[in-house]
Amino acid sequence: MSPRQGFHYRIYDLNLTSAIPLPELMPANGPPDVHIRLGAVPRSLEQPAIDGLIRQARRDVWLLTAEHITGARFLVRQGREVVVERVGRGRDDVVRAFLLSSCMSALIMQRGLPPLHGNALVGEQGAMLLSGNAGAGKSTLALALHLRGFRSLADDLSAIRMESDGACRVLPGYPSIKVWADACQRLGVNTSELKQIRPELHKYHYPIPPNAFCTRPTRLHAIYFLTAKPIERPKLKPLEGAAKLREIQSHLFKFRFAEAQRVWPWLFGAMIAIASQARVCIIERPKSGCSLDELADLIENDLRQ
């Protein structure tokens, strides 16, 4: 479809119409829930509840002023609209990256969906999330598990929806896993056939075939938080009670929990619902010398219990 008419996509169970092409996403034909358009974006918000260096937010408005990084400003309103104003020579790939990460996180938060930082995969028990801080290895492990037969559901940002029946379901993202070149090498993946995320990064989109991507919201079964420790063997530690809740709260995508709760007070209840339903574990892995097979076996054995 031509840019004048708009491009139509689907992500997180929403139909998008976008003035900016987002080739990572799946196409869609239904009436749009969200519009992404070009237009004027303010430099600041009046009386923001969240007031950061490049991010400001009120309940239904979120502003990202990152011209020095993206060459653009972004405004997300009421969970229904994203406005992008080009103010420099930002590259399209960088603008897309911010649209599909920071802006999408704000959009789904405005729609009452908590965004968690993690890759979502689907197995026999339901959906599981692999989370952790940057460099923990969650994307690498996600690809390793995908190559073992787990279907991919979401990459990096996982949106959780609380259903009327009390179930927490993970919504489908887009069919790709972003992985670094060294991870591809460890898994025997030929990067010459993959698309780089940005020319200056040795990071790639690993495309997920249609039959290996889950397009349906899937009940959340487990969350695994990865962390590197000076240990010799990987360990899996189940969490209970308040420890589960604290760990989940600390892995919101692009938001600090305490700040976000001031803007969206429903968030605490959503975190309790997720902690009540999901099995939550910490996986401590050695900083070096740990095989991906060892970590994947640890998770698969835990899922069988």
pLDDT digits (tens, 9 = 90+) for 105-137: 999 999 999 999 999 999 999 999 999 988 788
Top mean-pLDDT range of 28-32, 132-136, 270-274 = 270-274
Amino acid (1-letter code) at residue 21: P
210 three-class SS: helix
2 three-class SS: coil
5 three-class SS: coil
Both tokens assigned to 126: 């339901």
Instruction: Tell whether the model's pLDDT for residue 71 goes beyond 80.
Output: yes
How are beta strands 218-229 and 279-286 bridged, if at all? Answer: parallel
Structural domains of the chain sorted by starting position, each given as residue range(s) with its CATH number in brackets: 7-110 (no CATH), 115-304 (3.40.50.300)
Using pLDDT thresholds of 50, 70 and 90, give the confidence band for residue 37: very high
Contact criterion met (CB below 8 Å) for 189 and 211: no
- Mention every residue, 6+ apart, whose C-beta is less than 8 A from residue 19: 3, 6, 7, 36, 37, 38, 84
Q: In the prediction, which pLDDT does 201 show?
A: 85
Q: In the prediction, which pLDDT does 15 show?
A: 97
- Average pLDDT score over residue span 207-221: 97
Q: Give the global pTM.
A: 0.94
Q: In the prediction, which pLDDT does 5 show?
A: 67
Using pLDDT thresholds of 50, 70 and 90, give the confidence band for residue 305: confident
In terms of Cβ atoms closer than 10 Å to its own Cβ (0-12, 13-18, 19+), residue 84 is buried
Q: In the prediction, which pLDDT does 166 show?
A: 84
Cα end-to-end span (Å), the chain: 48
Q: In the prediction, which pLDDT does 108 show?
A: 97
Using pLDDT thresholds of 50, 70 and 90, give the confidence band for residue 35: very high
Distance, CA of 128 to CA of 222 (rounded, Å): 5
Q: In the prediction, which pLDDT does 62 show?
A: 97
Using pLDDT thresholds of 50, 70 and 90, give the confidence band for residue 91: confident
